[in-house]
Amino acid sequence: MTTAISSNEKIFIDSHYGVVVHRDFKPLYADDTYAAYYGYTSSEEVLALPSLLQLISQPERTKALATYDGVMSGRLKPGVRSYKNIDNAGNELIVLTVDHIVEWQGEPAMQITIIDLSSQIETQRQLQASEERYRELIDGSIQGIVVHRNLTPLFCNRAYALMHGFENEQAMIEHGSILPFIEQPFHQQAFEESAALINGTAETIKAEVKGFKADGSTIWLSLLSRPVIWNGEQAVQVTAMDITEQHVLREKLEHQANYDGLTNLLNRRATSEILAQQFEVAKVEKQALSCVMIDLDNFKHINDQYGHQVGDEILCLFAKVSLQNLREGDILGRWGGEEFILSLPGQDQLQAAAVANRLCQALSQAAVKTKYGELFFSASMGVATVCPEITSLDQLVSKADRALYQAKHNGKNCVSVLHDTEDEP
C-alpha cells in the first residue's frame, strides 16, 4: 500500500519522532526533529546531503540497502527495525525506525520515522513501549487506529477515540465493543470482513460505513482493515478516516442532481430512470404497473393573477398533499412546469384510477393563503396501465398523456382512463 503525500504537505507526527522521506536514499523531505537527531540545525541541511547512507554506520549500510530494495519491490513488508546511525559529529546513535511506502510527487518513495533509543536501549520495557506506539504510526498519526479481535477493542489511538466522541483512548477501550458504534445494517458486513482477515482469505479490506459517536450523532468513516499479530495472536487493525463532511456533501450534490429544487420531488431525469427500471420489471415479471400524468388546472392564470410566488406555493402544496396520499413505493416526479408524473407499481387500471380520484379530491380541498384570501386549486389526471400492446415506456407515458388531454377536455379537475383497446381519446 502507498500513501500519497504532496511535496508541500506537512507531515503531522508527534514531535518526539523524526521523519524523512527518500528515494534511493536521496532525501526528499525531512523535518527539523530528524535533522536535530543528527546534529543539524535545520531540515534544509539534511536535504542538501547527497545520500542518507552517510548517516548509517558502515556495517549497517548493506542491511539498509537490502531492506530498501525489499520493501520497495514488495518482497518485504514495511516494519519496525533498529539501526546504528552516525550523526554529523561522528557519534554513534541507536535508532528505531518504521519504514512505510508513500507516493511523493507521483512516484513511490520510502518514509522513515525514527526515534533515538541510545539512552533507552538498556531496558526491554522501553523498547517494547516504543514498538507499540509505532503500530499506530504505520498509516499516519492523524488517522484513527483501532486493533480489535472479534470487534472487541484491544487498542486504539487518541484520534480514533476522539472521532467517536470519547475523551481518551481508555474510555473507548472500556466500552467493550466497537459494534454499537456501527449502524445495524453494517453489522453483518463487519463480522464477515473481520473473519475474512483473520482466516487469511483477504489481505486488506476497504469500506465506508455509517456509525455513531458516543453521544449518538452520526459519523461516516472510510476504513482500511488488515490482519495483524497482537500479543502473539491474530487480530484486525482498522485505520479510520472521518469522511462525514465529504459524505454529507456528496449526498447534497446527489440530491441536487436528482430532485427538483422547488418541490423537492424527483426531477424528470431521475424519474425517467426509475420508471424505465419499473417498466422492465413489470414486463419481465408480468406485474401490474400504472402511470398517471398530472397537470395543475389554470396554472398560467394563477401565475398571471396572483404572481409567481403564489404559483410556487401551490406547486409545493401539491407535492406535500400528494405525498401524504401515496404509498411509500409510489414514485412522484416533476415532469416540467406544472406537469407531474406518478408511477404506481403493482397497481392495475382500476386501482390506479381509484388512487388518482382520491388524490384529485384531496388536492381540490387544499388551499394557499393569499392577500385576497384562500386560493384553491385543482388538477387533471390521465391514467394508463401496462398491457400487451405497450412495448416501451414512451408508449405508456404517451398513453397517459393522451388520457390527461381527455380529462382536460372533459372539464378539468377529474381523472380520465384510456382502456387497453383505446389508442386515441
Please, what sign has the CA dihedral across residues 3, 4, 7, 13?
negative
CA atoms of 135 and 282, how far apart (whole Å): 55
Supply the DSSP symbol for 127.
H
Name, in order, each residue with C-beta under 8 angstroms of 188's C-beta and a sequence gap of 6 or more: none
CA atoms of 168 and 39, how far apart (whole Å): 35
Cell triple for 315: 406547486
- Three-state secondary structure call for residue 189: helix
Q: How many CA atoms lie within 13 A of 216 on its CB side?
A: 0
CB atoms within 10 A of CB 127: 16
- Three-state secondary structure call for residue 107: strand
- Reference 332, options 321, 317, 324, 343; nearest CA is 343
363: left (phi over 0), alpha (psi -120 to 50) or beta: alpha
- Reference 64, options 74, 53, 75, 72; nearest CA is 53
- Three-state secondary structure call for residue 166: coil
In degrees rounded to 5, what are phi and psi of residue 370? -125, 175
Cell triple for 100: 512505510
**Which of 338, 374, 389, 422 does the annotation list as catalytic?**
338
Angle at alpha carbon of residue 366, lines to 362 and 369, rounded to 5°: 175
Check if 338 is active-site. yes
- Three-state secondary structure call for residue 101: strand
CA atoms of 68 and 25, how far apart (whole Å): 9
Q: Is residue 301 a contact partner of residue 363, using CB atoms and an 8 Å limit?
A: no
- Reference 9, options 136, 139, 103, 144; nearest CA is 103
- Three-state secondary structure call for residue 339: strand
CA 369 to chain centre: 42
Type of residue at 204: T
Name, in order, each residue with C-beta under 8 angstroms of 190's C-beta and a sequence gap of 6 or more: 151, 179, 182, 209
Catalytic residue numbers read 338
